Amino acid sequence: MVSILAGSILAVHQLSEAASNRHLAVADRLFEELNSPENIEARRWIFHNLPADPEVGSRTLAPEGQAAVKRVLNSLDHIAFLTQSGWIPDEMIMPWINPMVVKAWAKLETYVDYESRKRGEPDYYQHTRELAERCREWRKHNVPNAEITWIKDAL
């Protein structure tokens, strides 16, 4: 009986450690994704250069702008995949991913909506939409007075 109990305790400990290692690996991938120099530069370009009107912007974006928008959207989609329900606790990642996601989505949401209608694809970047909404909700409950501030010469 004692050996069964000891074995059970050891198994639970090993499962807990495996989950913790998996969460750490996912968090590391998220950090690398969001903080890569290319993604930081793409977000910065969007924050300061993306026209507010998606109809105008989608017609006038230079290749650099198109690449920045696509890079950030694909990055957010990858983040959405890595953070899907049950893979990693929101409490572990939301404090540091939500500002990047919320700010990027504030600029890109109208473009995704516009492109979704234009393509007739209601599921266009659907997972990114869901991630952005989770981040907005988390932020509303945990950082209730936070406002987005656009700073031209930010680090």
Contacts of 76 (CB under 8 A, 6+ apart): 101, 104, 105, 108, 125, 128, 131, 132
**Residue-wise pLDDT tens digits, 73-105:** 999 999 999 888 767 888 888 898 999 999 999
> Between the CA of residue 66 and those of 25, 41, 61, 83, 106, what are the distances in Å?
31, 13, 6, 26, 17
pLDDT in the model for residue 38: 96
> Comparing 12-16, 73-77, 149-153, which segment has the lowest mean pLDDT?
12-16
**Residue-wise pLDDT tens digits, 37-80:** 999 999 999 999 999 999 999 899 999 999 999 999 999 999 99
**Residue-wise pLDDT tens digits, 117-126:** 999 999 999 9
Position 13 confidence tier, pLDDT thresholds 50, 70, 90: very low
Position 32 confidence tier, pLDDT thresholds 50, 70, 90: confident
